[in-house]
């Protein structure tokens, strides 16, 4: 879940939007529900007081034998009316009487609204036990005369908290009208209607959030892909500068950065090539002047030094030209590319073994990558005696591993060997030590692809690991059948024997 949360901008935007919606709706409902409850309570009491005034006039005019029937006809599910011949003095006793009156079924009232809404005519009645323990210590009160607006004396009382409201009105010396009102439980604010409204609002906001998140994330995804490709050294056209102002300015800054990087690399390689080219003239002059040296030993040493400088100069020019070459990236069969390098070395009689693995289609600069792998293989043969090459995909990288059985590189020197013209081999013989640019070129190519080169020293050998980012991989496929990699070590007979031995053993899978 956290992976999806951290990965998707749309998920976070929608989640925050819906959370804000829930909090705002909850606060709105709570505030409006409180005001709504107060308004309902005030309206209900006002309507009950108006009905009580009407009942008072009715009792005054109707003969005593018809009063009960008139009051029963005027009752509702929330109100009860009855007549007594004495005034109620004890507030607690009157509350219990009111609770008992609400337990009496209605005779002449049908609540059509409640029937159609709930499917039955259920009524709510106050609980006698709860009424007995509530509102203790509260006695009768007298309302303002302006609210009552009749000459008959009146007093009121609450029961069951504030849900019950009772009136006692003196009609005459022998008749007291008792009126009780009990507010029904209207239910919570979280109803099916409010839930449907909330869900509809959430869906609309989620759709709007998806639209705006995609509008923001689309150029960001394009920017991320372009940055990754730029890190691998690809030549990309400028990305589109569209979207919100912040995203547009980011894309504009990326395009400027890409242009400056290309210009910087181009200027650097041109300068290096120019320096290497200009060194040819003084080297040629030195070679001519050496011919006039009469001491043959000194002349031989000077010519050797000039030859070394000449070789280094040519290597620098070659390196600069390679850096300045704008090779386009394309999809290649990585297993076939590495295998062909091993084939070429085997054809030259070098002890190279390639372990076939799963086919991988990878996007890269084929010529540059071929050069880097060839340098690693040649170093393994020169210093380790033989090379074993295989490809190992991991969760984040695709590793090309070149194994040898040499002494390895001491850990303090593993970083220094990548410096240009640095040679770990102590002699000055170029045939055994080389120029010192092979690993520099290999690392430059690896880093152009967004990867790197590292060394792992083991007992009996060393591994050179060329790691490439897995983002460049296009798709894996099944192992290709019918291809045999062999060691070519001299005569045709020995090559045939080695091939037979390899075919008799199961092929190693990496």
Instruction: Identify whether residues 201 and 223 lie together within a single domain.
Output: yes
* DSSP designation for 138: -
According to the model, what pLDDT value does residue 480 have? Answer: 40
According to the model, what pLDDT value does residue 426 have? Answer: 54
pTM: 0.45
> What size, in residues, is the chain?
510
Q: Is residue 336 part of a domain?
A: yes
Instruction: Identify whether residues 333 and 477 lie together within a single domain.
Output: yes
Q: Give per-residue pLDDT as tens, 383-417.
A: 888 999 999 998 889 999 999 988 888 888 888 88
Instruction: Identify whether residues 48 and 91 lie together within a single domain.
Output: yes
Q: Is residue 341 part of a domain?
A: yes
- Residue 455, H or E segment: strand 452-458
Q: Is residue 228 part of a domain?
A: yes
Out of 135-144, 207-216, 254-263, 365-374, which region has the weakest mean confidence (pLDDT)?
207-216
Percent of the chain with pLDDT over 70: 78
Instruction: Identify whether residues 202 and 262 lie together within a single domain.
Output: yes
Last residue of a domain, one of 214, 242, 276: 276
> Measured in Å, how far apart are the chain's first and last C-alpha atoms?
32
- Cα torsion 351, 357, 363, 366 to 10°: value is 20
Asked if pLDDT for residue 420 goes beyond 50, the answer is yes
Q: How far is C-alpha 244 from the chain's CA centre? A: 20
Mean pLDDT of 272-290: 79
Asked if pLDDT for residue 143 goes beyond 70, the answer is yes
Instruction: Identify whether residues 27 and 62 lie together within a single domain.
Output: yes
Q: Is residue 304 part of a domain?
A: no
Q: Is residue 49 part of a domain?
A: yes
State the chain's mean pLDDT as an integer. 77
Asked if pLDDT for residue 473 goes beyond 70, the answer is no
Last residue of a domain, one of 133, 148, 182: 182
Asked if pLDDT for residue 510 goes beyond 60, the answer is no
Asked if pLDDT for residue 438 goes beyond 90, the answer is no
Q: Is residue 300 part of a domain?
A: no
Q: Give per-residue pLDDT as tens, 215-269.
A: 777 777 788 888 877 766 667 788 888 777 877 888 888 888 888 887 777 777 7
Q: Is residue 311 part of a domain?
A: no
Q: Is residue 460 part of a domain?
A: yes
- The string of DSSP codes covering 301-335 is HHHHHHHHHHHHHHHHHHHHHHHH--PPPEEEEHH
CA distances from 8 to 12, 173, 219, 343, 497 (A): 7, 81, 14, 46, 58
Instruction: Identify whether residues 197 and 113 lie together within a single domain.
Output: no
Instruction: Identify whether residues 380 and 499 lie together within a single domain.
Output: yes
Looking at the 3D structure of the chain, how many domains does it have?
A: 3
What are the φ/ψ torsions at residue 342 (nearest 5 degrees)? -65, -40
Q: Provide the domain limits for residue 198.
A: 192-276
Instruction: Identify whether residues 338 and 411 lie together within a single domain.
Output: yes
Q: The domain spanning residue 376 has which CATH number?
A: 3.30.565.10
In contact, 436 and 416? CB cutoff 8 Å: no
Instruction: Identify whether residues 334 and 450 lie together within a single domain.
Output: yes
- Residue 17, H or E segment: helix 9-61
Mean pLDDT of 408-433: 70
Instruction: Identify whether residues 167 and 214 lie together within a single domain.
Output: no
Measured between alpha carbons, how far is 315 from 438 in angstroms, rounded to an integer?
10
Q: Give per-residue pLDDT as tens, 349-369.
A: 899 999 988 788 898 888 888
Instruction: Identify whether residues 345 and 434 lie together within a single domain.
Output: yes
In contact, 442 and 376? CB cutoff 8 Å: yes
In contact, 145 and 79? CB cutoff 8 Å: no
Please count the CA atoms within 13 angstroms of the CA of 378 that sit on its side-chain side.
Answer: 18
Instruction: Identify whether residues 90 and 11 lie together within a single domain.
Output: yes
């Amino acid at each position: 879940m956290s992976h999806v949360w951290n990965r998707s901008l749309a998920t976070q935007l929608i989640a925050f939007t819906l959370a804000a919606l829930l909090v705002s709706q909850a606060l709105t409902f709570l505030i409006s529900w409180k005001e709504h409850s107060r308004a309902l309570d005030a309206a209900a009491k006002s309507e009950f007081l108006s009905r009580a005034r009407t009942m008072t006039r009715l009792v005054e005019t109707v003969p005593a034998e018809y009063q009960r029937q008139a009051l029963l006809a005027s009752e509702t599910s929330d109100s009860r009316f009855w007549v007594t011949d004495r005034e109620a003095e004890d507030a607690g006793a009157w509350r219990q009487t009111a609770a008992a009156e609400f337990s009496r079924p209605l005779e002449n009232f049908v609540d059509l609204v409640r029937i159609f809404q709930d499917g039955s005519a259920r009524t709510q009645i106050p609980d006698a036990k709860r009424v007995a323990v509530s509102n203790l210590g509260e006695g009768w009160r007298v309302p303002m005369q302006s609210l009552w607006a009749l000459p008959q004396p009146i007093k009121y009382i609450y029961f069951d908290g504030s849900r019950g409201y009772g009136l006692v009105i003196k009609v005459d010396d022998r008749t007291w009208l008792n009126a009780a009102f009990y507010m029904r439980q209207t239910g919570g604010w979280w109803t099916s209607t409010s839930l449907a409204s909330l869900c509809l609002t959430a869906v609309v906001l989620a759709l709007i959030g998806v639209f705006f998140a995609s509008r923001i994330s689309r150029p960001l995804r394009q920017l991320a892909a372009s940055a990754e490709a730029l890190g691998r050294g690809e030549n990309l056209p400028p990305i589109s500068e569209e979207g919100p102002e912040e995203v547009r300015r980011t894309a504009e800054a990326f395009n400027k950065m890409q242009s400056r990087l290309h210009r910087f690399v181009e200027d650097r390689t041109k300068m290096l090539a120019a320096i290497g080219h200009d060194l040819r003239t003084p080297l040629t002059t030195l070679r001519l002047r050496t011919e006039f040296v009469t001491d043959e030993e000194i002349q031989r040493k000077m010519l050797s030094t000039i030859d070394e400088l000449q070789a280094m100069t040519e290597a620098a020019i070659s390196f600069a030209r390679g850096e300045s070459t704008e090779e386009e990236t394309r999809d290649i069969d990585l297993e076939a590319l590495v295998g062909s390098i091993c084939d070429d070395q085997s054809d030259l009689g070098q002890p190279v073994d390639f372990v076939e693995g799963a086919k991988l289609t990878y996007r890269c600069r084929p010529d540059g990558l071929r050069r880097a792998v060839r340098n690693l293989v040649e170093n393994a043969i020169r210093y380790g005696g033989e090379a074993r090459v295989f490809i190992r995909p991991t969760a984040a990288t695709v590793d090309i591993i070149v194994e040898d059985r040499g002494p390895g590189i001491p850990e303090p020197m593993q970083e220094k060997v990548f410096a240009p013209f640095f040679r770990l081999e102590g002699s000055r013989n170029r045939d055994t030590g080389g120029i010192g640019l092979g690993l520099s070129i290999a690392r430059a190519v690896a880093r152009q692809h967004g990867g790197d080169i590292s060394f792992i020293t083991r007992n009996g050998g060393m591994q050179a690991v060329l790691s490439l980012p897995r983002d460049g991989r296009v798709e894996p496929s099944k192992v290709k059948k019918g291809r045999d990699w062999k060691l070519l070590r001299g005569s045709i007979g020995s090559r045939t024997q080695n091939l037979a031995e390899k075919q008799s053993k199961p092929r190693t899978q990496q």
